[in-house]
């Protein structure tokens, strides 16, 4: 049987949905116990039967295939605790962290996402959604993130997503954030009607639920795609070293290595360059506090 190249566009348990270059979808299993395939992966597959033997998802009949090989990844976004890793998306070039004016969002989760993004060398965009509801409090919460150099885009997914569409161009982007922030609403606004079939498959996978239960990749144009993920409440960084977490707080970089002690943990040590920077107002107390919290409890 011929080897086909495909991209994983949805992962649900140990089953996957892969898309061939001509747009045809296949449901895929892995060989053996392999389960480390994730949305965004490029894979080699072989058909295992004719289309009529495949799964029937709603009105759509989809052929079956088996995944032989996962191509080397340019990036892998994942979270981890002491026991397991949870893969989020592969081969993305940009992370879009979605927060909203309400419900309130966790700035610790935001900081964790930023550290993970830095580790995988991803472009970062912070989207403040639901600005139709009044943005003052959330805008103030994000002011320091703008000050340290992150792009923050304010919008309302229900009104106009064109500014976001422009910033997704040329990227494989992944939308992450707590549930309820509006990720799926943003995706709906971004997708042209021509993608109704893709959306139909998504709906069937989620069995009509309003919450996103599986990561899904949508193609926006020939050079751009976007992955919608289930909401995350925790973003474990067990896999990162103390040093990697320090670097993920990008505004710390001028001060790293400048403490009196080379192994300074930035707690109570004398002549700690980070604590001095906080006392001078060059780093916010909240960011150092978030750093210490994450370094002490990575997961």
Ligand X SMILES: Nc1nc2c(ncn2[C@@H]2O[C@H](COP(=O)(O)OP(=O)(O)O)[C@@H](O)[C@H]2O)c(=O)[nH]1
Out of 7, 80, 91, 212, which residue is the one contacting ligand X (CB under 6 A)? 212
Nearer to ligand X, 127 or 245 (CB): 127
182 makes contact, choosing from Zn ion, ligand X, Mg ion, none, with CB < 5 to 8 Å by partner type, with ligand X
How far apart (Å, rounded) are the C-alpha atoms in residues 95 and 176? 7
Out of 88, 96, 113, 181, which residue is the one contacting ligand X (CB under 6 A)? 181
**Joined tokens for residue 24:** 């045809």
Please provide residue 153's backbone torsions phi and psi, each rounded to the nearest 5 degrees.
Answer: -110, 120
The b-or-e profile of 197-218 (16+ CB within 10 A means b, else e) is ebeebbeebbeeeeebebbbbb
54 makes contact, choosing from ligand X, Mg ion, Zn ion, none, with CB < 5 to 8 Å by partner type, with none
Nearer to Zn ion, 41 or 246 (CB): 246
**Joined tokens for residue 125:** 């965009």
132 binding ligand X? (CB under 6 A): yes
202 binding Mg ion? (CB under 5 A): no
Nearer to Zn ion, 72 or 270 (CB): 270
Stretch that binds Mg ion, among 86-94, 148-156, 209-217, 218-226 (CB under 5 A): 209-217
Which H/E stretch holds residue 203? helix 196-205
**How many residues can be counted in the chain?**
299
Out of 27, 75, 156, 225, which residue is the one contacting ligand X (CB under 6 A)? 156
Q: How far is the CB of 133 from ligand X (least distance, A)?
A: 5
How far apart (Å, rounded) are the C-alpha atoms in residues 72 and 14? 20
How far apart (Å, rounded) are the C-alpha atoms in residues 272 and 256? 10
Which H/E stretch holds residue 218? strand 216-221
Stretch that binds Mg ion, among 132-140, 204-212, 239-247, 291-299 (CB under 5 A): 204-212
Within positions 177 to 196, which residues make up the interface with Mg ion, using CB under 5 A?
Answer: 183-184
Contact of 62 with 15, CB cutoff 8 Å: no
**Joined tokens for residue 294:** 């994450």
130 binding ligand X? (CB under 6 A): yes
| Angle between helix 285-296 and 107-119 (nearest 10) | 70
Nearer to ligand X, 94 or 156 (CB): 156
157 binding ligand X? (CB under 6 A): yes
Out of 133, 147, 163, 285, which residue is the one contacting ligand X (CB under 6 A)? 133
What are the residues binding ligand X (CB under 6 A)?
A: 129-130, 132-133, 156-158, 177, 179-185, 212, 231
């Amino acid at each position: 049987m011929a080897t086909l190249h495909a991209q994983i566009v949805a992962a649900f348990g140990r089953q996957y949905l892969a898309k061939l270059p001509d747009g045809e979808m296949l449901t895929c299993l892995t060989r053996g116990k392999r389960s480390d395939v994730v949305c965004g992966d490029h894979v080699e597959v072989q058909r295992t039967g004719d289309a009529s033997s495949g799964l029937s998802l709603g009105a759509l009949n989809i052929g079956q295939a088996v995944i032989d090989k996962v191509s080397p990844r340019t990036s892998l976004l994942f979270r981890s605790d002491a026991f397991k890793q949870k893969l989020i998306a592969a081969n993305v070039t940009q992370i879009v962290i979605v927060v909203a004016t309400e419900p309130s969002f966790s700035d610790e989760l935001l900081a964790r996402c930023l550290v993970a993004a830095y580790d995988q060398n991803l472009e970062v965009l912070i989207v403040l959604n639901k600005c139709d509801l009044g943005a003052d409090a959330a805008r103030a919460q994000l002011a320091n993130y703008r000050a340290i150099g992150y792009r923050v885009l304010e919008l309302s997914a229900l009104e106009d997503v064109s500014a976001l569409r422009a910033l997704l161009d040329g990227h494989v982007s992944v939308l992450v954030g707590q549930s309820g922030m509006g990720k799926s609403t943003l995706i709906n606004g971004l997708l042209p009607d021509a993608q109704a079939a893709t959306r139909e498959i998504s709906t069937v996978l989620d069995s009509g639920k309003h919450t996103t239960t599986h990561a899904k990749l949508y193609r926006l144009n020939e050079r751009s795609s976007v992955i919608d993920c289930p909401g995350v409440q925790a973003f474990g960084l067990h896999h990162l070293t103390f040093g990697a977490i320090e670097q993920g707080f990008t505004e710390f970089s001028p001060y790293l290595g400048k403490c009196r002690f080379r192994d300074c943990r930035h707690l109570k040590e004398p002549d700690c360059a980070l604590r001095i920077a906080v006392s001078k107002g060059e780093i916010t107390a909240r960011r150092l506090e978030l750093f210490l919290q994450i370094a002490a409890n990575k997961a």
